[in-house]
Amino acid sequence: MVCKKRGITLIELLIAIFIVALISVMIISLMNLFSRSIVLFESKSNIIRMGNDSIDFVIMNLFESEHCVSGFGEFSYTGREIIFKIKEEEEDTDEFGVIYQDLRTGELKYVKVMIDEDGEEIMRSGIIIAGNVETFKAYFNYGIPEKSNFVYFSLILNDLSGTVPKYYIFSSGHYLRNVRLR
């Protein structure tokens, strides 16, 4: 007599469920890995964009300034800030710009200060250029003693998106034709 097999056995069903579960776990793991790599890539591109934008901001402000100065108010030149006088049409006020690293918050900031003819502060406004700044340094006459209006600055940004911090370095040196150092 011939025995006809109908349906599937319990063991075959368990093996099929195990294979489907294994494939599902592999797909979910790949999707998690892919999404994590997208987040890290976006973070890295944001850091690079922030660093390049910061460098462009500093360059633009230096090229538009009248002259750089070595000290101003509570800012004194320590290599961590760039202080420059902005061209002003009014004769009774002077406007200064300061780009500096705030060591408490780790931010690169730009502050515009307006001073009257008596040396009193009239107005102060500021913006944050970049966050997660590890180091900002500015050097005048860096390596070129005969050029009094050469500035070199470097910016190190800290990427805290991963498990281990990564540092990105941005630097630039410029000969400022219309800028006199004081």
Is 2 among the domain residues?
no
d(C-alpha 157, C-alpha 133), whole Å: 5
Is 13 among the domain residues?
no
Tokens of 20: 């489907």
Q: Model confidence over 153-166: pLDDT tens digits? A: 888 888 877 777 78
d(C-alpha 125, C-alpha 16), whole Å: 68
pLDDT of amino acid 31: 95
Is 61 among the domain residues?
yes
Q: What is the pTM of this model?
A: 0.69
Is 78 among the domain residues?
yes
pLDDT of amino acid 74: 54
| Nearest of 172, 175, 174 to residue 155 by alpha carbon | 172
The one-letter amino acid at 166: K
Q: Are 135 and 155 in contact (CB under 8 A)?
A: yes
pLDDT above 90 coverage of the chain, percent: 13
d(C-alpha 179, C-alpha 174), whole Å: 11
Is 89 among the domain residues?
yes
Averaged pLDDT of the chain: 79
DSSP E strands in the chain: the ranges are 65-69, 71-72, 75-76, 81-86, 93-102, 107-116, 121-130, 133-140, 150-159, 166-175, 180-181
Full residue range of the structural domain in which residue 61 is found: 30-181
Q: Model confidence over 59-102: pLDDT tens digits? A: 888 777 776 665 555 565 556 777 777 766 667 778 888 888 88
pLDDT of amino acid 33: 93
Q: Are 134 and 158 in contact (CB under 8 A)?
A: yes
Count of structural domains within the chain: 1
Is 96 among the domain residues?
yes
Is 20 among the domain residues?
no
Is 44 among the domain residues?
yes
